[in-house]
């Protein structure tokens, strides 16, 4: 059983009493849990060591069956548990948390992420250094302590989708140049796994666009922040370890929702002709990985795992080609299946 450190409850209580000069908490940490029992304790505990200088509060909503929030409410009573409305998606759940938050900044933190020492302090200092920023992000690290692909999320484009389809993804080559300088760097997209947004900017844009159920909501937010004239800054001194998808990076379900999220971004921002080219490129990339990995990949190999992960995207494009269309999109289809299963 996960147990909190002896000081975390007192630290959270003290932070609540140490608001800034304006009477606001410095940083509200927002966590959306979903079947996160294996990692949520480490995530919550990491907030204490990450915020030695600034005041914080932690708010959590459980999009799953309630097991994660039950664990947190028992072991970390100072975390505010916001009642769940079921699995409403990452965007809507964060918007709900933001409504209850009192911080000057909103730190969106994945339950499978753990903050390094002083990370929140560094993000807060970075936001103050870069007064034109609307959001700042941490350098995210994999299980080996190396920068992961969260540091090189691209803004969707036909060029990027074509590079992925041909197995020459441009984003992976951008990781070293984006973080090895040790300096803060402006970015096109910041990872939603550890993203701190200035409250004023969040409110101006209305938070996340809730048409995005899962994936690409932070890409859309970053685009809108940039269009509104804000900078996006990756802060070199802020680090977070991210156990992507709770360690199941090649999950078929994850790949399916990623495809739908990308399509929803295209539905919102791209003309129809461009969107359908993008959809074709996503399918080509998935089909190639599914076929090649299935032929030459051995059981347990990365190739085989990638093949299985892309199976649904390759074989069932009707599930995702309309993104999150309210009547015919992926979420609507899954909701109907769930309803039919319940009726049966």
> Can you tell me the distance from the alpha carbon of 224 to that of 300, in angstroms, rounded to the nearest whole number?
40
pLDDT at 339: 82
Q: Which domains can be identified in the chain, with CATH numbers? A: 8-247 (3.90.550.10), 252-343 (no CATH)
What's this model's pTM, rounded to 2 decimal places? 0.89
Q: Which two tokens stand for residue 105?
A: 């900044």
Listed as own residue / partner, the contacts of 322-328 with beta carbons closer than 8 Å and 24 or more positions apart are 322/263, 322/267, 323/260, 323/261, 323/262, 323/263, 323/264, 323/265, 323/266, 323/267, 324/211, 324/212, 324/213, 324/260, 324/261, 324/264, 325/267
Most confident range, picked from 108-122, 135-149, 159-173, 300-314: 108-122
Asked whether residue 245 carries a pLDDT value surpassing 60, the answer given is: no
Residues 119 and 242: beta-carbon distance below 8 Å: no
Residues 239 and 139: beta-carbon distance below 8 Å: yes
Q: What is the pLDDT of residues 227-238, one digit of tens each?
A: 999 999 999 999
Asked whether residue 211 carries a pLDDT value surpassing 50, the answer given is: yes
Asked whether residue 178 carries a pLDDT value surpassing 80, the answer given is: no
Residues 251 and 244: beta-carbon distance below 8 Å: no
Asked whether residue 100 carries a pLDDT value surpassing 80, the answer given is: yes
More confident residue, 285 or 7: 285
How much is the average pLDDT of 72-76?
Answer: 96
Q: What is the pLDDT of residues 263-307, one digit of tens each?
A: 999 999 999 999 999 999 999 999 999 998 888 877 767 788 888
> Can you tell me the distance from the alpha carbon of 246 to that of 99, in angstroms, rounded to the nearest whole number?
27
Q: What is the pLDDT of residues 146-173, one digit of tens each?
A: 888 888 888 999 999 999 888 766 555 5
pLDDT at 20: 60
Query: Where does the pLDDT of residue 79 fall: very low under 50, low under 70, confident under 90, or very high at 90 and above?
Result: very high
Asked whether residue 175 carries a pLDDT value surpassing 70, the answer given is: no
């Amino acid at each position: 059983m996960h147990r909190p450190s002896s000081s975390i409850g007192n630290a959270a209580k003290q932070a609540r009493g140490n608001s800034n000069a304006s009477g606001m908490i410095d940083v509200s940490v927002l966590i959306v849990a979903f079947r996160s029992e294996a990692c949520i304790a480490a995530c919550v505990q990491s907030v204490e060591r990450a915020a030695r200088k600034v005041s914080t509060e932690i708010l959590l909503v459980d999009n799953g069956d309630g097991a994660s929030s039950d664990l947190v409410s028992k072991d970390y009573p100072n975390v505010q548990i916001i009642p769940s409305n079921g699995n409403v998606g990452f965007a809507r759940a964060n918007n709900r948390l933001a409504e209850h938050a009192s911080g000057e900044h909103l730190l969106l933190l994945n339950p499978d992420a753990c903050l390094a020492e002083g990370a929140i302090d560094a993000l807060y200092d970075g936001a103050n250094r870069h007064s034109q920023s609307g959001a700042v992000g941490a350098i995210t690290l994999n299980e080996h302590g190396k920068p992961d692909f969260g540091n090189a999320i691209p803004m969707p484009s036909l060029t990027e989708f074509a590079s992925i389809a041909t197995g020459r993804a441009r984003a992976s080559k951008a990781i070293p140049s984006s973080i090895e300088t040790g300096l803060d760097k402006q970015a096109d997209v910041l990872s939603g796994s550890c993203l701190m947004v200035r409250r004023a900017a969040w409110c101006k844009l209305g938070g996340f666009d809730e048409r995005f159920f899962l994936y690409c909501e932070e890409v859309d937010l970053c685009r809108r922040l940039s269009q509104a004239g804000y900078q996006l800054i990756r802060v070199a001194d802020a680090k977070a370890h991210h156990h992507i998808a709770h360690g199941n990076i090649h999950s078929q379900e994850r790949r399916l929702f990623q495809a739908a999220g990308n399509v929803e971004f295209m539905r919102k921002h791209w003309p129809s002709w461009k969107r359908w080219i993008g959809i074709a490129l996503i399918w080509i990339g998935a089909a190639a990985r599914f076929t090649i990995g299935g032929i030459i990949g051995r059981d347990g190999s990365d190739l085989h795992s990638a093949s299985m992960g892309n199976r649904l995207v390759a074989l069932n494009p009707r599930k995702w080609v309309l993104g999150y269309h309210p009547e015919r999109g992926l979420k609507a289809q899954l909701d109907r299946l769930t309803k039919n299963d319940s009726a049966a």
